[in-house]
Structure 1
Amino acid sequence: MNRLLTTVVGTFVESWQELRVHRGRVVLSLVGVTIAVASLAVVVGFGSLAERVTAAFNEQYGGRPATYSFNGSTTGSGSADPAGTAAVADAAALDRELRAGAERYDVRYTSEATFVQRDVQFPDGVALVQGTTVDPAYAEMHRVRLASGAWFTERDRDRLAPAIVVNRAFLERIGSPDIVTHPVVRLPGTPDVTAVVIGQVVSSEYDTDPSFYQLANSVATANAAVSPDLGAGRTFQAWVPAASGKAVAERIAADAERALGPGWTVSADRSDAAGQVDGDPLGPLRWVIAGVAVLVLVLGGLGLLNVSLVSVRQRIREIGVRRGVGATAGRIFVAVLLENVLGTLVAGGVGVMVGAALLGNDTVRGLITQGVDVGGAPFPVEAALVGVGSAVLVGALAGFLPAIVAVRVKVIDAIRY
């Protein structure tokens, strides 16, 4: 055991000494590897960030896997009722049955997700603004992040001055007040409602139209006038396990349809991105990233292999002398192989640091993420692991052929060289 340990340590020490002696050759041979690994780390890191950004955008709009949207319709709803009271009753009944079904099947995250339009009194006049009626769980289901203020809680349903959460464009339209001052805005209607802005969501620079969220089953929604042709136009969402989600969603829809009685149709459709396409929605992106990464790695490996072969041929006399004083073929093979592995390990570390510095730059990262919070480390850990691992792999592959050449050197021919 001691002899084996001594051999292993000795081989590492020999390889490191050879690297120190041939510093010029090593630096020249590893410049290409460093560039290749830095490029690889940047490509993999960019791909990882792009995947997370794509997933974040998809989840903001469609929900997390697996989110199902429930919609119901009934024949004749509101058609003989110009005031729209039948439509309101139908929508309320549908909402009540869907919530009961979700609770029955232990679905933890549920929310209304109905798009609405309401008049808003801005300082420069009244404008029709797009809004979404939601429950508190909507923020978790759709990755909603706040720039300031707070999201809805159950207590907000009973506010006499209903709470709304707005985007940056909405807040700027009312004069960019500080959320802590509890700014108010009038929502003209029948009757008028004065709402309190309690939070501002994070929005991209391209989100230039005002929008808001209002809380379902609250004063704000109860006082809103309903169009006679609205019918049961509310949308209900549930975030269920991806494996069993379809069966659960279909049971919730079927139970609601049965409880509501004849004439009702309740559908359950998957709304998140994973349910809209066959297979992995990010699969093509992963294949493109993998192809670029392999190409970069191959180019770096070929350059190192060429330099290593030339180096071994220049060291034939040195290798022959070592063989002549007792070095075994295995020792020579491992020493030459380790020279490349240790060198590329150092080069890989430098390349990963270069890639981390580039992707860690706030400007570069902002261009990739577009302001979306993707979480995780500033530089993706997988990119660092792939960079260092590929450097070691390249060193091993590029050192294998030169090591075989070194082992096949005949002592007498080497000394004559």
Structure 2
Amino acid sequence: MNRLLTTVVGTVVESWQELRVHRGRVVLSLVGVTIAVASLAVVVGFGALAERVTAAFNEQYGGRPATYQVTGSSSAAGDGTGAAAAADADALDRELRAGAERYRVRFATEASFTQRPVQFPDGVTLAQGVTVDPAYAEMHRVRIDDGSWFTEDDRERLAPALVVNQAFLDRLGSPDVVTHPVVRLPGTPDVTAVVIGRYASSEYDTEPMFYQLADSVATANAVASPDDGSQRLFEVWVPEHDGKAVAQRIASDAERALGPGWTVDATRSDAAGSVDGDPLGALRWVIAGVAVLVLVLGGLGLLNVSLVSVRQRIREIGIRRGVGATAGRIFVAVLLENVLGTLVAGGVGVMIGAAVLGNGTVRGLITNGVDVGGAPFPVEAALIGVGSALLVGALAGFLPAIVAVRVKVIDAIRY
């Protein structure tokens, strides 16, 4: 055991010394590998970030897997307007909430799009909004940049709470959310609401938008209008393996409780349920193809330099064979020279890739301001970069090591 350990350590030290002696050759041979690994790290990191951004966008709009929208309609609702239609919508909402509680659904929310007139300093504007429950933020990855999101206590506010985007605040004169600025919502009667938070939004969201809390004073006089195609929606976030059954039970229980003339349906709304197979599969294949191409080019460059280097060292290798170095020792030493060198090159390449993707401007262009979570530089990109460097070193060093083993003492004399 001691002899084996001594041999291994000695071979590693010997290979490292060879790298130090031939610094110029090593640097020359590893420049290509460094560039290849850096490119590979950037490509893989870009792909990982792109996947996370795509998933984040999908979850913002459609919900996390598995989110189901439960909607209903009554044959007696007429044109969907008036007090009777509002009463039907309230009855459906009560039954759906009762069903979600009955089946112990932890995340359930109203998610109805609406329009409300808002009195800004420069005039009244019809702003787009969404009526939600506190669970909506977790279900749709809503990130709060300033202030806070809704809590159950906010339902009882005499001044109803709103969470708005930056464009909404800009129209108010850019007040600090901490001061809880107020805004008038004209209606019957007028409502004075208080802004409690600002959610993260894209730079392209230039129109004022807001979230308002369901079952609160803010929604007392706000009914979804059929004229703009809006509809009162209810969503549940359930486990993927049995979520469909749970959502359908909630819908069927509500339909049965509401009586004849009602139709209640549950439809999956998240991207994973609306796309057959892996929705990001094509992106992964493209990224994998580019990564393999970059890796092959880097490996071929290193192989060429390594072969030339071994042929130039025939005299040195022959002398080492003459003083007792075994074929195995020569093979491992030459192989390790490449592996150790590419390991260093891989580390440098990963750091370059991390610096590129960690740049705020580059990352902003990829994520478009979306909060994707996770490490600033994807861990899988670092692991793949270092691992590929080791693989390239081993493969590119194998053939030169075979050539080195075949060198004889007589070759050194003739060289």
Q: Which residue of the partner structure matches residue 212 of structure 1?
A: 210
Shift of 1:416: 2.1
The residue identity in structure 2 corresponding to 1:156 is D
Shift of 1:225: 5.5
Q: Which residue of the partner structure matches residue 386 of structure 1?
A: 384
Q: Which residue of the partner structure matches residue 252 of structure 1?
A: 250
Q: Is the 8 A contact 1:78 1:229 kept in 2?
A: no
The residue identity in structure 1 corresponding to 2:67 is T
Measure the CA separation in 2 of the matches of 1:105 and 1:414. 82
**Partner-residue secondary structure (3-state), 2:205:** coil
Measure the CA separation in 2 of the matches of 1:232 and 1:292. 44
Shift of 1:36: 0.6
**Partner-residue secondary structure (3-state), 1:136:** coil
The residue identity in structure 1 corresponding to 2:62 is G
Distance 1:137 1:273, change over 3 A: same
The residue identity in structure 1 corresponding to 2:65 is P
Q: Is the 8 A contact 2:114 2:224 kept in 1?
A: no
Aligned length in residues: 415
| Match among 81, 88, 97 for residue 90 of structure 1 | 88
Q: Is the 8 A contact 1:78 1:231 kept in 2?
A: no
- Any residues of structure 2 matched to 1:105-254 within 5 Å, and which? 105-224=103-222, 233-254=231-252
**Partner-residue secondary structure (3-state), 2:134:** coil
Measure the CA separation in 1 of the matches of 2:270 and 2:30. 46
Measure the CA separation in 2 of the matches of 1:227 and 1:42. 48
Matched, 1:4 2:4: yes
Shift of 1:305: 0.3
Measure the CA separation in 2 of the matches of 1:264 and 1:8. 78
Shift of 1:413: 3.0
Shift of 1:360: 1.2
Q: Is the 8 A contact 2:177 2:197 kept in 1?
A: yes
What does the per-residue CA deviation read over 1:341-396, in whole Å, with 9 as the maximum and x for residues that have no partner?
00000111111111111111112111211111111121111111111111011000
Q: Which residue of the partner structure matches residue 70 of structure 1?
A: 70
Distance 1:349 1:232, change over 3 A: closer
**Partner-residue secondary structure (3-state), 1:297:** helix
Q: Which residue of the partner structure matches residue 399 of structure 1?
A: 397
Could you tell me which runs of 5 or more consecutive residues in structure 1 were left unpaired when the two chains were aligned. Answer: none
Q: Which residue of the partner structure matches residue 36 of structure 1?
A: 36
What does the per-residue CA deviation read over 1:207-255, in whole Å, with 9 as the maximum and x for residues that have no partner?
0111111100111112335658899931000111122211211121111
Q: Which residue of the partner structure matches residue 364 of structure 2?
A: 366
Is the deviation greater in 294-303 or in 365-374? 365-374
- Any residues of structure 2 matched to 1:324-343 within 5 Å, and which? 324-343=322-341
**Partner-residue secondary structure (3-state), 1:280:** coil
Q: Is the 8 A contact 1:191 1:224 kept in 2?
A: no
Measure the CA separation in 2 of the matches of 1:178 and 1:29. 57
Q: What fraction of aligned residue pairs are identical, expressed as a percent?
A: 84
Distance 1:18 1:232, change over 3 A: closer
The residue identity in structure 1 corresponding to 2:266 is A
The residue identity in structure 1 corresponding to 2:278 is D
The residue identity in structure 2 corresponding to 1:187 is L
- Any residues of structure 2 matched to 1:312-351 within 5 Å, and which? 312-351=310-349
**Partner-residue secondary structure (3-state), 1:378:** coil
Q: Which residue of the partner structure matches residue 14 of structure 2?
A: 14
Q: Which residue of the partner structure matches residue 99 of structure 1?
A: 97
Q: Is the 8 A contact 2:113 2:230 kept in 1?
A: no
Shift of 1:76: 2.2
Q: Which residue of the partner structure matches residue 262 of structure 2?
A: 264
Measure the CA separation in 2 of the matches of 1:287 and 1:106. 40
Measure the CA separation in 1 of the matches of 2:235 and 2:348. 48
Q: TM-score, normalised by structure 1?
A: 0.96
Shift of 1:296: 0.6
Q: Which residue of the partner structure matches residue 281 of structure 1?
A: 279
Distance 1:348 1:218, change over 3 A: same
Shift of 1:135: 0.1
Distance 1:64 1:101, change over 3 A: same
Is the deviation greater in 297-306 or in 268-277? 268-277
Q: Is the 8 A contact 1:163 1:214 kept in 2?
A: yes
Could you tell me which runs of 5 or more consecutive residues in structure 2 were left unpaired when the two chains were aligned. Answer: none
| Match among 288, 293, 296 for residue 295 of structure 1 | 293
Matched, 1:412 2:384: no
Q: Which residue of the partner structure matches residue 373 of structure 2?
A: 375
What does the per-residue CA deviation read over 1:24-72, in whole Å, with 9 as the maximum and x for residues that have no partner?
1111000100111111111111111111111111111111111111110
CA RMSD of aligned residues (A): 1.7
Q: Is the 8 A contact 2:70 2:264 kept in 1?
A: yes
Measure the CA separation in 1 of the matches of 2:208 and 2:229. 26
